[in-house]
Amino acid sequence: MTEVMPSHIGFIIDGNRRWAKKHGLPAYVGHLAGYNAIQE
């Protein structure tokens, strides 16, 4: 049987807005932090 490898994958990053709010930051800072975490 041949295995099929996906050509695309997706990430659902949840909690960035809550993280930012908890730290008194605007939502976009949380989104940027999530993006940077994926880059690592």
Active site residues: 14
Rounded Cα distance, 12 and 28, in Å: 16
Rounded Cα distance, 29 and 9, in Å: 24
Rounded Cα distance, 24 and 3, in Å: 47
